[in-house]
Amino acid sequence: MNTISFPGGFTVLMAVYRNDDLSLFQKAVESVFQNTLQPNLCLIVVDGPIPQRMSEAIGEMEKIHGTKIQFLRLPQNLGLAKALNAGIEQVHTDWIVRADADDINLPNRFLELATAIKDHPDLDLLGSNILEVDKEGNPIAIRAVPVSQLEIRKFAKSRNPFNHMTVAYRRAAVIECGGYPDVYLREDYALWCKFINKEKKLLNIPQVLVHATAGKEMYARRGGWKYAKAEWEMQQLLVTLGQKNSMRAIFDGLMRSAIFLLPGSLRGLIYMRLLRRSTLEKA
């Protein structure tokens, strides 16, 4: 029996919406309950109307897991930031562990997080590396993130220093930071920067604890003017928080926006070849 636990308990927070892959969603939920350390609650925010098959699958989950799982149904799709903020309001444990609706949590994930918190009791936010896999579960690449507080602060000036689907944070800390900012596809990065701005204690565990669904096709879809606009919003926030100067923000904004405006196939290649480490290199 595990003697290590999250002080004040923990809730797994997930959001799902109509376009999520049903099979991957079911596997993601099961991976939560296959962990050696079980959450007090798995809270899943249903972000707007969903297909009948997904609704039926949710009904089955409720039958199987009973009071260990809860669904917060939003009448309309609000987007990830607002959906997660709605979920945070319903959490009663001291810790929140994020999970994505298409990713697999390894069986030791929650125990490793709890162990890190035991070793570093002043932590406010922690995460880990991920192994990116395709829809069949075949390995693609590892996204390794900086480990120490200093490394995380430095890395955050140019790129997201946490893998969102791996993080755990204190509920009180995320509320103090105002919750997730509504920055399109950058809500997590924006929140981490607020944690940094408020001098919260940060850490990444240098091991893979989540298998994240990805692939060249996914990166190829991540482009267009909407993504470029979001990048400029993120750069503006970094300047506002004093984490980089205006000239650096303009340079980074131009470079990253240019990638988002490239043809999809080329953008996917850049992500896979330049921004990720191959599994062979990390083996």
93-97, 232-236, 255-259, 271-275: lowest mean pLDDT where? 271-275
Spell out where the chain has E strands: 10-16, 41-47, 69-74, 95-98, 104-105, 125-133, 139-143, 168-170, 202-213, 277-278
pTM, rounded to two decimals: 0.88
Least confident of 37-46, 97-106, 207-216: 207-216
280 belongs to a structural domain:
no
**How much is the mean pLDDT over the chain?**
89
Total residues belonging to the chain: 283
Question: Mean pLDDT over residues 5-11, rounded?
Answer: 97
Alpha helices, DSSP H only, in 177-213?
187-197
Examine the domain organization and report whether 207 and 233 are in the same domain.
Answer: no
Domain that holds residue 258: 220-274
pLDDT value at residue 273:
58
Q: Are residues 132 and 21 in the same domain?
A: yes
Tell whether 108 is covered by a domain. yes
In the chain, the number of structural domains is 2
Residues 18 and 109 placed together within one structural domain of the fold: yes
Question: Does pLDDT of 154 surpass 70?
Answer: yes
Kindly state whether residue 279 falls inside one of the protein's structural domains.
no
**74-83, 86-95, 262-271, range with the lowest pLDDT:** 262-271
Looking at per-residue pLDDT, the higher value among 243 and 4 belongs to: 4
Residue 206 and residue 257 share a domain: no
Mean pLDDT of 206-222: 76
Please indicate, yes or no, whether residues 75 and 208 belong to a single structural domain of this protein: yes
Residue 5 domain-assigned? no
Judged against a pLDDT cut of 80, whether residue 264 lies above it is answered with no
Residue 268 resides in a domain: yes
CATH code of the domain covering residue 149: 3.90.550.10
Give pLDDT tens digits for 110-150: 999 999 999 999 999 999 999 999 888 889 889 999 999 99
DSSP 63: H
Nearest CA to 89 out of 203, 205, 11 is that of 11
